């Protein structure tokens, strides 16, 4: 097993502290009793598992994984599973909280969850990856289920991994349970249109000729890049976990995808200049799409961001201190729980289709998706104007209020 290339790992603000600061800013605008406010913050349940996996060389390695349910007020929990060396409990807590607010903002009958394993998946063989996935799925099966908690892909995972999780869960139940995960291959109950839906949607902006930089070239970033390219944007910068590429004349994202399929990374794509991920964020552009991981735009680099619009494809890419700087500079930030909500909406559609065993066409999916996104965007913009706050705080006010209202209606048991 060969070690992977060196990865640039910037110092990141603790994601849980970021999520708490964002929540408190929004909660300060709401008449929440102290106990209710405290209940909305803390995760409902947290599971940490340490589990062994047989490696190809005959050795056994122990991995650590997590599954966190932040809120169950609006329904079963929903959220991705990521495989990354960055995974820790505080990161998973933060991601689960952000999922709660995202689902509430989109009026989905879900609470937020998240999970992950601390591992570099690219350093595992396919067999090792499958054994790790099936063992992790078994370990978290005590909290996962089609009516309780429904995982999906995230950083470092994909539809194949969801297929293994679905199959493992189904083997334990003695019958096929496709609704236990979303983001599956279409052949086993996945939904049409899901991959495209995960990309940040920017149709409200004048895109023709806009210069765009996309950080992250995974499920979200790659699709965002070619959709924006198709709408007339000039993609001038792209990056993966290793480094970035820049060409002011523009890049063809689909050609870059083909190059990555052959080489494993964007660096070296013909006609481009290599830049670091830090430099990529500060390139001259009209629209910046941070679609990698959390904590990328910080107090240290926010003043150097040249984009007029930031559309957050990743969860939590901008720290609260950076938000303040960007707001003062007049940068228009479309927050994560609004910009990248298309993925969880189509995950909801997939879940509904699996439960009913009735599937929709991609045209039907898009027809159902668009009104939800547009209505949420209009509502957040309207509330931001009324409260004189930025779009992130507005979106969180809307979402937190919806969860709090549902909690008060349900009551406190017993």
Residue 114 known to be catalytic: yes
Cβ contact 179:351 at 8 Å: yes
Give φ, ψ of 379 to 5 degrees. Answer: -65, -40
**Which entry of 78, 102, 114, 184 is annotated as an active-site residue?**
114
Show which residues are catalytic: 114
């Amino acid at each position: 097993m060969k070690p992977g290339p060196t990865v640039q790992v910037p110092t990141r603000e603790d994601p849980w502290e970021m999520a708490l600061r964002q929540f408190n800013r929004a909660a300060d605008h709401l008449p929440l009793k102290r106990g209710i406010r405290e209940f909305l913050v803390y995760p409902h349940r947290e599971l940490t598992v340490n589990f062994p996996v047989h490696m190809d060389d005959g050795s056994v390695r122990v991995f650590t994984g997590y599954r966190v349910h932040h809120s169950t007020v609006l329904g079963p929990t929903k959220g991705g599973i990521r495989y990354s060396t960055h995974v820790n409990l505080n990161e998973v807590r933060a991601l689960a909280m952000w999922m709660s607010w995202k689902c509430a903002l989109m009026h989905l009958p879900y609470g937020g969850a998240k999970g992950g394993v601390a591992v570099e998946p690219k350093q595992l063989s396919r067999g090792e990856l499958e054994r790790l996935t099936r063992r992790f799925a078994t370990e978290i099966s005590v909290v996962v289920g089609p009516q309780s908690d429904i995982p999906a892909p995230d950083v470092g995972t994909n539809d194949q991994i969801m297929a293994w999780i679905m199959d493992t869960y189904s083997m334990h139940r003695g019958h096929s349970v496709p609704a236990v995960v979303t983001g599956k291959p279409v052949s086993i109950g996945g939904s049409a249109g899901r991959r495209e839906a995960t990309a940040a949607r920017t149709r409200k902006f004048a895109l023709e000729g806009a210069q765009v930089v996309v950080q992250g070239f995974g499920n979200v970033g790659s699709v965002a890049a070619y959709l924006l390219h198709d709408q007339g944007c000039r993609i001038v910068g792209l990056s993966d976990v290793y480094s970035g590429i820049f060409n002011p004349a523009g890049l063809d994202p689909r050609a870059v995808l083909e190059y990555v399929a052959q080489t494993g990374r964007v660096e070296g794509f013909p006609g481009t200049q290599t830049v670091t991920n830090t430099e990529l964020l500060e390139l001259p552009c009209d629209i910046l799409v941070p679609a990698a991981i959390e904590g990328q735009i910080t107090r240290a680099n926010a003043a150097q961001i040249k984009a007029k619009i930031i559309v957050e494809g990743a969860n939590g890419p901008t720290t609260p201190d950076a938000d303040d700087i960007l707001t003062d500079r007049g940068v228009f930030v479309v927050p994560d729980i609004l910009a990248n909500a298309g993925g969880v909406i189509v995950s909801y559609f997939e879940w509904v289709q699996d439960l009913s065993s009735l599937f929709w066409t991609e045209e039907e999916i898009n027809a159902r998706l668009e009104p939800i996104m547009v209505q949420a965007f209009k509502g957040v913009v309207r509330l931001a104007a009324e409260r004189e706050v930025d779009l992130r705080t507005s979106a969180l006010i809307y979402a937190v209020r919806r969860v709090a209202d549902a909690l008060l209606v349900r009551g406190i048991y017993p």
